[in-house]
Each structure stands twice: as C-alpha cells, then as structure tokens.
Amino acid sequence: MESWSDMISGLKIQELSDAIRVKKENGTEVYYYIFDEYEIHLNKILPGSIQEWHFHSEIEETIVVTKGKLRCRWIENDMEKDSCIESGELVRVGNSIHTFENDTDDVAEFIVFRFVPDGLDKKECIKRDKTVVKR
C-alpha cells in the first residue's frame, strides 16, 4: 500500500515510526532520523541525567532546546566551563569536549542537527533559495 509520503511529489514526510528509537542507560531517549548528508535527533533527557563526555572530529552538531533547560559543559583551555541553555536557545558544540546534563526536576527536550561541513560559506544560497509560486 502506498503511504501518504509516497504520494507527495518531492516532499517526504517522516513519521516518528520511521525514526530509530534508542533508550540509553544515561537517561536519554533519542529518535534518530538519519539521511545521506545529515541527521536530526529528537532527544528527551530525564531529570538528574548526564550524558558521557565526548567530542566530534568531523561533524558539526547543533542543539536546540525545545522544552525545559539543559546544562552544557565543555572543556576550554584545560578548564571545565558550563552554561544553562533554555527552550528556544541553541548551542553549536564545534569540536569541543562536551556533555549535556539535566540538573532540573523536569524532563528536558532538544533537537540535534548533525552534518559534515565542507568549509564553503552557503549563507547567501540559503537566504536566496526560495521561489514563490502563484497558484
């Protein structure tokens, strides 16, 4: 049977059931949408949970908090730093050694965008790439 997303020309709808769901021991639940050139993750992190310290050599990772607060910790000049990011705020982690923690009493939710940058500045293309169509 043809799905709704198959009937829409050029447009693909990804349902939650299309994502890869992982419940991690660190208290994070992730829905992974994995594509050829990027990934998008929907995350929930339970109160009192902390992710493992890590870094990325090649990918760019951008996190947008959509609910609650998330404590971002990172290493800079051999010193540990931290900042609380709230709903509507984002953080680009670069290649920093970092972790995220929910030190609140509420579930925090965030979206992670992951891609491999090629070093080209695409801002103008992104800003201009829209053609209005009259119907």
Of the candidate CATH numbers 3.90.780.10, 3.30.70.580, 2.60.40.10, 2.60.120.10, the domain formed by 13-128 belongs to: 2.60.120.10
Q: Which residue has the tokens 């695409």?
A: 122
Contact 70, 97 (CB under 8 A): no
Please check the confidence at residue 1 and state whether its pLDDT lies above 80.
no
Q: What is the pTM of this model?
A: 0.85
CA angle 87, 93, 95 (to 5 degrees): 170
Residue 4's pLDDT is 47
Summarised one tens digit per residue, pLDDT across range 72-123 is: 999 999 999 999 999 999 999 999 999 999 999 999 999 999 999 999 999 9
What is the rounded CA–CA span in Å between residue 27 and residue 47? 8
What is the rounded CA–CA span in Å between residue 23 and residue 32? 11
Whole-number mean pLDDT of the chain?
Answer: 91
Q: CA end-to-end span of the chain, whole Å?
A: 30
- What are the tokens at 62? 């951008």
